[in-house]
Amino acid sequence: MTPFTEQVIGIIRAIPQGKVMTYGQIAKLAGSPRGARQVVRILHSMSKKYQLPWHRVINAKGQIAIQDDAVYQEQLLSLQAEGIRVDRNGSVHLATYQWYPNPE
């Protein structure tokens, strides 16, 4: 596993309940500011194996980006179950719910 992948997994695991992060935000924190698509691939391939809270990751516009309707609904319901308000367009108010980890 690459150091970037390890960083991404650690960051996603640390997102607290009721908060979200964006793909790009995670990539930047993991050391690759242009690596948002890599974060998508890591989530897709490793979420189950590492039990990642994948539903807490959204796009830079604050929207659920998943195209598959069943998985979209699963993410929507998971976010709502944590108290995150999602509007009818699948958008989350980032100013309210986006998480910024403390720099170490």
Distances (CA, A) of 77 to 46, 56, 60, 87, 104: 21, 11, 20, 12, 33
Q: What is the pLDDT of residue 103?
A: 67
* Rounded Cα gap, residues 57 and 46, in angstroms: 14
DSSP 9-73: HHHHHHPPTT-BEEHHHHHHHTT-TT-HHHHHHHHHHHTTTTT--GGGEE-TTSB----SHHHHH
Helix axes 3-14, 36-46, angle to 10 degrees: 80
Model's pTM, two decimal places? Answer: 0.92
In whole angstroms, what is the distance from residue 59 CA to residue 42 CA? Answer: 15
Domains for the chain: give ranges and CATH numbers: 3-97 (1.10.10.10)
- List per-residue pLDDT tens for the chain, 104 residues long: 899 999 999 999 999 999 999 999 999 999 999 999 999 999 999 999 999 999 999 999 999 998 899 999 999 999 999 999 999 999 999 999 999 998 66
What pLDDT, on a 0 to 100 scale, did the predictor assign at position 78? Answer: 97
Residue type, 36: A
pLDDT at 19: 98
